[in-house]
Structure formats: structure tokens, C-alpha cells
Amino acid sequence: MTAKITASGFVSTTQKVAGKSKKTFDRSAQDATRLYLGEIGFSPLLTAEEEVYYARRVHRGDEAARKRMIESNLRLVVKIARRYMNRGLPLLDLIEEGNLGLIHAVKKFDPERGFRFSTYATWWIRQTIERGIMNQTRTIRLPIHVIKEINSYLRSARKLAQQLDREPELDE
């Protein structure tokens, strides 16, 4: 019997019975996702004034304010993580990476600059999700700067192919 988590969050198990493969789906991964999404839906969003208030308290070391800012922005993490689905990591792993970025954003946020927290946090969430994908999806782990360089090269090659209506040559 083999088990595999599919992109949609199902656990697919294949079992050989009398020489024939029988595929079944376990809904536990999907149920965990649904449960998590249900839990985070109850925390209210913060207004701009509340963000400034709680951010100032976080800078003074208030753990309750830190927790409130994190809980109020978990839906943002899920929204961003969904954009990165089908890139090699299950949704729950993407959310986990994004939550680490959110925690870092809460720590670094400066309310005196006049930006909304969600604008600032989006950058950190995306960065940690992208780094998580880069670190965990390859069989042979490459340093992140090498992966970024490869992606930049591939992006340029695709752009040139579109402009020239053919595959670009090496000297182009």
C-alpha cells in the first residue's frame, strides 16, 4: 500500500488487492484544512487605528498585542498561500511557511511609517512562502540565490521567445 497527498489536500492510498490496484482517498488532510480555515474565520480584522495601537504595544513587549495582530491577519496568509498552490507543497505547508512570515512581520512592523500592516506583511509572507518552496521542493537542494538566478534566466528566455516568436539562441 502506498500513500500520497494530492494537490487538492486529499491523501490518496493505492492498495493492491488480488493483483488489481484500488485507489481510495482519505479526507483527513482536507478536514484539517477546513478546520483551520473555520478557526481563523472567527478572529476580527483590525482597523488602521487598532493596527497602530497594537503595533506600538508589540514594540513595548506586549505578548497579548502580538498574538492579537497575528490572529487578526491569518486570513491574509491563507489568501496569499493559495496563490502558491500546485508548486510542490501542500496548502497546509504553504500556510505554515506564511505564518512564519507573518510572525516576522509583526516583529518588524513600524506603525510610524504610515503604511497598513497588511501591505507590509504581504512582502514577508510571500518571501517566506517562496523560500519554503525553493528549499523543500527540489530533490537536490540548491542555494536560494542560485535558484533565483535560474528563475531569472528562464523568465528572460520565455520573454525573448514571446518577442521573437521562436526559441532564443544562446548569444541572444
Confidence grade of residue 30 (pLDDT, cut at 50, 70, 90)? confident
Do 106 and 157 belong together in one domain? no
Do 48 and 131 belong together in one domain? yes
- pLDDT score recorded for residue 41: 81
- pLDDT score recorded for residue 131: 92
- pLDDT score recorded for residue 103: 96
| pTM: predicted TM-score of the whole model, two decimal places | 0.70
Beta bridge partners of 24: 13
Do 137 and 162 belong together in one domain? no
Pairwise CA distance, residues 82 & 89, whole Å:
11
User: How many CA atoms, within 13 angstroms, populate the side-chain half-sphere of residue 89?
Assistant: 22
- Please report, for the domain that includes residue 106, its CATH number: 1.20.120.1810
Beta bridge partners of 15: 22
Do 12 and 86 belong together in one domain? no
- pLDDT score recorded for residue 37: 82
Percentage of residues in the chain having pLDDT higher than 70: 83
Do 52 and 130 belong together in one domain? yes
Do 28 and 68 belong together in one domain? no
Do 54 and 134 belong together in one domain? yes
Do 132 and 150 belong together in one domain? no
Backbone dihedral region of 61: left (phi > 0), alpha (psi from -120 to 50 degrees) or beta?
left
Do 81 and 47 belong together in one domain? yes
Mean pLDDT, all residues of the chain: 84
* Domain total of the chain: 3
- pLDDT score recorded for residue 24: 52
- pLDDT score recorded for residue 114: 87
Percentage of residues in the chain having pLDDT higher than 90: 48
- pLDDT score recorded for residue 84: 94
Q: Which residue has the higher pLDDT, 132 or 33?
A: 132
* Residue 2 predicted with pLDDT over 60: no
Mean pLDDT confidence for 67-83? 94
Do 24 and 55 belong together in one domain? no
Are the CB atoms for 133 and 153 separated by under 8 Å? no
Do 129 and 55 belong together in one domain? yes
Do 86 and 1 belong together in one domain? no
* Residue 74 predicted with pLDDT over 70: yes
Full domain range(s) for residue 14: 1-42
